[in-house]
Amino acid sequence: MLDDAAIDALAARFLAGALPRAEWTHAAHFAVALWLLRHRPQLADAEGMGPLIRAHNDSVGTPNTDSSGYHHTITVASLRVAADFAARFGATAPLSEILAALLASPAGRSGWLEAYWSCERLFSVAARRGWVEPDLAPLPG
């Protein structure tokens, strides 16, 4: 599990465009989201995060297209869940503690969004380009 120093280092490498694709895991997505919510809240929304993820994808050779790379609905949903966990724990809780709880929750599984969206809807071009409301259940938080 990542400690706070490792989360800081991960976020710094992400922001610098120096995070290898293999390290951009499900846990890393949430770690960076939590770090941004705490340390760079002006970037912790889709308008801030979208360009960061696109730049990261460019740096590791992942094309940002209608079928690859940045996915707006997944980004917004993930940021909402991360913000909900951060709010529950408060501004002074260690990020590693928040991340551990988030990863122990249903959102910690890589297919967690399929409880809220059908695959057809979630993986549509419309959902990749913009926010698409869940069609199976409301998103928590």
Angle at 31 between CA 18 and CA 17, to 5 degrees: 15
User: What is the C-alpha to C-alpha distance for residues 101 and 103, in angstroms, rounded to an integer?
Assistant: 5
pLDDT tens over the chain, length 141 residues: 899 999 999 999 999 999 999 999 999 999 999 999 999 999 999 899 999 999 999 999 999 999 999 999 999 999 999 999 999 999 999 999 999 999 999 999 989 999 999 999 999 999 999 999 999 999 987
Task: Indicate the domain borders of the chain.
Answer: 4-129
Whether pTM > 0.85 for this model: the answer is: yes
